[in-house]
Amino acid sequence: MTTVAFLGTGTMGAPMARNLLAHGFAVRAWNRTRARADELAADGATVTDTPAEAADGADLLVTMLLDADATVAAGGAAAAALPAGTPWVQMATIGLEGLAKVAAVAGGTTLVDAPVLGTRAPAEQGTLTVLAAAPEEVRDRVRPVFDAVGGRTLWLGTDAARGDGTRVKLAANNWVLSLTNAVGESIALAEALGVDPHLFLEAIEGGAVDSPYAHLKGSAILDGDFTPAFTVDGARKDAGLIAEAAGELRLDVAEAVRARFTRAAAAGHGSQDMAAAYYASFRG
């Protein structure tokens, strides 16, 4: 039985760890707030008090933590307790600078850059898309992990430290965050123009500009259901990573998107689903 040290059992990490357990992996779980990891004990996970304890006896290390600082701190502590060559599979969205910091503390582990596309529901269903960069010699060792948590793995290179998985993830997230805000703005505009905003979704349905995602987020806004699949705060963090990676490139839409998430968070919607960026459309 392959043993996985799994660090970070939040909204995304917990269902990913459950899918690993369901596929026959032994999981040693750690989370900064232990209560979040304790929920996995009923599924068969061994819950640990420290990242190093989670790494004890593990064949693989997986990190799914909030940001680069948390990943460096917890992942670095776990990596120091692992034998040389053990794969460290970094699956969170931490940006290019964050990945460079992780590479600097990876020690003798073999780093795998593997952020995922998808939110809570795909994580629960095991249908995430894994954007992976890893040396050829380690791919067979990590592929079963990807098959357990995802419906598709896109192999993007052999140099994990270059971060081609992270680079594609940032481009994809730029699209997702922009579309989320465009849906919210369009609904707010329909309301301001005095028409039923449901008609906006009806108008695009089935056409070339239609998108299942537009209906998903649009329905959430219209129903007032902001149960978080991915929070405004998380989206704001990712928007910052996109701006950081863009450097001198002008991304006017991305800058506006980041500002909208910042306004929505300031208005008290940070812990709600990112569809709550809709509220950034209103003054005051």
How much is the pLDDT for 183? 98
- Euclidean distance between CA atoms 141 and 270, whole angstroms: 38
How much is the pLDDT for 267? 97
How much is the pLDDT for 1? 87
pLDDT in tens, the chain (284 residues): 899 999 999 999 999 999 999 999 999 999 999 999 999 999 999 999 999 999 999 999 999 999 999 999 999 999 999 999 999 999 999 999 999 999 999 999 999 999 999 999 999 999 999 999 999 999 999 999 999 999 999 999 999 999 999 999 999 999 999 999 999 999 999 999 999 999 999 999 999 999 999 999 999 999 999 999 999 999 999 999 999 999 999 999 999 999 999 999 999 999 999 999 999 999 97
How much is the pLDDT for 284? 72
Read off the tokens for 164.
């081609």
Lateral strand order in the sheet of 110-113: 46-47, 26-30, 3-7, 60-63, 87-90, 110-113
- Which residue reads 């123009």 in tokens? 193
Name the DSSP class of 82.
S
Contact 93, 148 (CB under 8 A): no
Q: Report pTM.
A: 0.94
- Euclidean distance between CA atoms 101 and 267, whole angstroms: 32
Residue 154: which residues within 8 A CB-CB, separation 6 or more? 129, 130, 131, 132, 168
Q: Residue 238 belongs to what H/E stretch? A: helix 232-246
Report helix, strand or coil for 260.
helix
How much is the pLDDT for 241? 97
